[in-house]
Amino acid sequence: MTNSTIVVPQPSSSSSDVHAASKAVRRAVDYSYGKQRADGHWCAELESNCTITSEYVLMCQALGVDLASKREGLVQYLFEHQNDDGSWGIAHDVDGDVSTTAECYLALRILGIATADAGLERAASFILTHGGLEKMRVFTRIFFALFGLFPWDSVPVLPPELILLPASSPVNIYAFASWARGTIVPLLVLFHHKPLYALPNGKHAENDWLDHLWRNPHDKHVPYAPPLGGILREHKVSAKSVISLGYKAVLGYETLTGGLFSPVRKRAVQACVDWVLEHQEPSGDWAGIFPPMVNGVLALHAHGYALDSDPMRRGLEAIERFTMTDADGVRVEACQSPVWDTCLTMIGLLDCEAGDARLSAPRQWMTKLQILDDHGDWKVYNTKGRPGGWSFEYANTWYPDVDDTAAVVMALLKQDPSSAKSDVVRRAIEWIVSMQNEDGGWAAFDRKNDKLFLNDIPFSDMDSLCDPSTPDIVGRILEALGILGDRRYEAACARGIAYLRKNQEPEGSWFGRWGVNYVYGTSNVLCGLMHHGFRASDPMIGRALGWLKSVQNADGGWGEHVNSYADRNLMGRGTSTASQTAWGLMGLLAFLPPEDPSVQRGIAWLVSRQTDEGTWNEKEFTGTGFPKYFYLRYHMYRHYFPLMALGRYVRALRAS
């Protein structure tokens, strides 16, 4: 549906509808405050797939960390998430894959589960049916190589000398996205040392412990990329073929020299180690996410740091804080989301006009976490900006992000409009504006991080080595700037709006990089544009509203499967979920009256599915780490987004 004209219906809400929605709001508000922590903030589980927990097991095996007390819980968690066909997948209702299944299989074997176990037999059958361990992706190959289960010469690597390239070079560590950078630099140390760790059957450079999972265990030298000739035939002279040629040259350098005795190599490896140490937080964290943390401790250990050395001890303690133990077993989070959960819960409560003295503590808690340290990788390509942002996590001063910062600003302004003149908000807004890209958009963590050709190197198998501008983030920033209402930032807003006009999909939607997917992106954009003088009659707005209405499910809700990242035919299509229904509603409510039939049906879906506790159930993954490859289930998405939608609906009804 792409009609630009939206027909405004006559009011149709009954007093019973209003009463039901208001009752749902009160129950949701009570649930929210019931989950508030002692110091005022909120933080719920951030669930990912089983590779994170499996890699935790592999790290402990490599370093000799005793898992006896966690063994039963780890086994329980992994088996409870196994699919019926024996596989493990990257999200709920997503087919399993060889890499995820292989990592879970190896972790369970390390935990003492025998190959004859029925669950492992089904897993082995799945792996062999789908090509064997030969089909493992890059990061799984790396973990297996650490134990001699995969040859290092078949692992796509990057040389440590990469860290010596200046930021002005087309390829350098700061050309990679923050999450990739924090993961790659410690890997450069591992690629140099190529450590070998023991498994329960001993330490072997060519370990046969999992040979039964190979199609051909006698030839494990499986190239990850096709031969250069094949690439040239398929892509001719193109960016991909040039990148592949350059990568082949890098591999040739490694093969011929190994860099082992080169003074340059020695300096490069030490520079990598120094970078890792510099980027470690006092708490021990690296970037607040699991991959840089596990790679950080493995790299330092390979370089000679003992387990009881200060950086290793702090790093391992930080990783342990990511572990969770409850009735569902023992598992490890990929990240923790306290700032995000706190500011979005505050926004939900304030949208419901339920802000009271209980919001003083979270405001103070967030304010104290504003990052004013004059360091951070963002400064490499933003030399003029002053710090003032927030990060997503408890401890991550090196990587504040504009999405969290905009959401915090919105929470502060909604609670106290006079804070627009405060130093806290001023510093935050100035930092956000300084991070605007040349295309008018904003990315999450960096400026000018848009060298997409890097995704063509064989090392990149998730298409996520860069952090370019995305509409969902631009929408949130426009919402924050619109609520602020400071005319000094009109030029920045105009550039952001121009970016959105240029990047609207033909169907009328916008892409959602950090939430699934087009429903999320479209909702964010509409919620932002409503503060900048737009009306439903604007063709851009009309097409977006029309698209949202066209993908509303028959049951009144909205849903979108994670596979929409790979298949445009699934755009806006999927089982209705609480979070996605809320996004659809907020997008419509930005420009349509609460009496609109689509709004009424969406509200009815939320009201009818609220639990006795006052919240909603949602097993689907509606958060995005890396599109197509890594998804997240925020356990509070099912609550604070419906809280926002219901609050805005009730307020709109009262206003009308």
Q: Is 403 an annotated catalytic residue? A: yes
Contact 94, 563 (CB under 8 A): yes
Least Cα distance to 552 among 610, 592, 500 occurs for 592
Chain centroid to Cα 126, Å, comes to 28
- DSSP class of residue 565 equals G
3-state helix, strand, coil in the chain (%, to 5): 55, 5, 45
Dist CA 109 CA 75 (whole Å): 10
Would you tell me how many other CB atoms lie within 10 Å of the CB of residue 223? 10
The CA distances from residue 189 to 195, 203, 304, in Å, are 10, 21, 11
State whether residue 356 is helix, strand or coil.
Answer: coil
What is the helix (H) or strand (E) element at residue 331, kind and residue range? strand 329-332
Of 341, 351, 401, 403, which residue is the catalytic one? 403
Q: Which amino acid is at 248?
A: K
Dist CA 99 CA 89 (whole Å): 9
Buried b (16+ CB within 10 A) or exposed e, 613-640: ebbbebebbbbbbbbbbbbbbbbbbbbb
Name the burial class of residue 265, with classes exposed (0-12), middle (13-18) and buried (19+) by CB atoms within 10 angstroms of its CB. middle
Give 25-94 as a DSSP string. Answer: HHHHHHHHHHT--TTS-----EE--THHHHHHHHHHHHHT---TTTHHHHHHHHHHT--TTS---SSTT-
Least Cα distance to 220 among 147, 304, 302 occurs for 147
Residues 6 or more apart in contact with residue 546 via CB below 8 angstroms: 1, 2, 3, 4, 6, 508
Catalytic sites, residue numbers: 403
